[in-house]
Amino acid sequence: MNVIFLGATKGMGRALARLMARRGDQLYLLGIGDDDLERSAADLGVDGRAPAGVGVCDLSKPEAFGAALDGALAALGGKVDAVIVTAGLFAPQDRLESDLELCRAVLDVDFTCTVLFCEEAKRRLLAQGGGVLCVFSSVAGERGRKPVILYGAAKAGLTRYLEGLDHKHRADGLAVVTVKPGFVKTGMTAGLKPPPFAGEPEDVAARVLGAIDRRRPEVYAPAAWGPIMAVIRRLPRFVMRRVGF
């Protein structure tokens, strides 16, 4: 596949990009333009198929999305099969409550800016007859929970947007894959106590790649989070007020 990939420099995104490069997919990497982006591109070339190129795209700057996607599309020969978005921001609830600027940045990037990037990607995919738009949301958006109120609110909005997009455009050839990771051991979760069912980036990447290939509308990763969240969604409010989960 020809793939435009935003967020391949860390954690789950890096693991997924590595897996795709190993099997021969042609990637074009978008990122904020730091050393991590160039290093990730070089690593992919050693590990598997070298990327078609890299381009600067800061998820907090929507005015540059169109040009970044057009540059990636041109480098891939004018044809893209999938756009993958793993980039985003995270901070614990207590930090978001005490830092208004950080809170605004997380809400803006994880909802508004991600939606605007998806709108730009959607138009380009539909113009060529369809493809896959795979975006990482989170199980934090499944239910209002005390430890992730603000981050979860942004991800809840993103999940509903992606669901609606899939409903509207699946018949047009655009398959939207919403990834809902639970706790995964990455730099983003460093310092937090992992639950017994915490996942590894490589295992998540393999599960997500299978969902992309099958065009599944949603995937929980690790898989255990599917039944866990099915229970959480059904708990009455008086129970949710008492538990710390």
Locate the domains of the chain by residue range: 2-242
pTM of structure: 0.93
Tell me the per-residue pLDDT of 99-154, one tens digit each, with 9 for 90 and over: 999 999 999 999 999 999 999 999 999 999 999 999 999 999 999 999 999 999 99
Angle between helices 35-47 and 11-22 (to 10 degrees): 30
Asked whether the predicted pLDDT for residue 187 surpasses 70, the reply is no
Angstrom distance (rounded) from CA 80 to CA 37: 20
The CA–CA distances, whole Å, from 199 to 109, 191, 237 equal: 24, 15, 28
Q: Which segments within the chain are labelled E, that is strand? A: 2-6, 26-31, 53-56, 82-85, 131-136, 174-181, 218-221
Handedness of CA 107, 181, 23, 170 (dihedral sign): negative
Angstrom distance (rounded) from CA 133 to CA 168: 13
- Predicted confidence at residue 46, as pLDDT, reads 82
Select the more confidently predicted residue: 41 or 101. Answer: 101
Residue 33 binned pLDDT confidence (cut-offs 50, 70, 90): confident
The owner of tokens 């795209």 is 57
Tell me the per-residue pLDDT of 202-212, one tens digit each, with 9 for 90 and over: 889 999 999 99
Percent of the chain at pLDDT exceeding 70 = 93
Q: In this structure, are residues 141 and 152 in contact, taking their beta carbons and an 8 Å threshold?
A: yes
Amino acid occupying residue 96: L
- Predicted confidence at residue 27, as pLDDT, reads 97
Q: What is the mean pLDDT of the chain?
A: 92
Which CATH number among 3.20.20.70, 3.60.15.10, 3.40.50.720, 3.10.105.10 corresponds to the domain 2-242? 3.40.50.720
Q: In this structure, are residues 33 and 56 in contact, taking their beta carbons and an 8 Å threshold?
A: yes
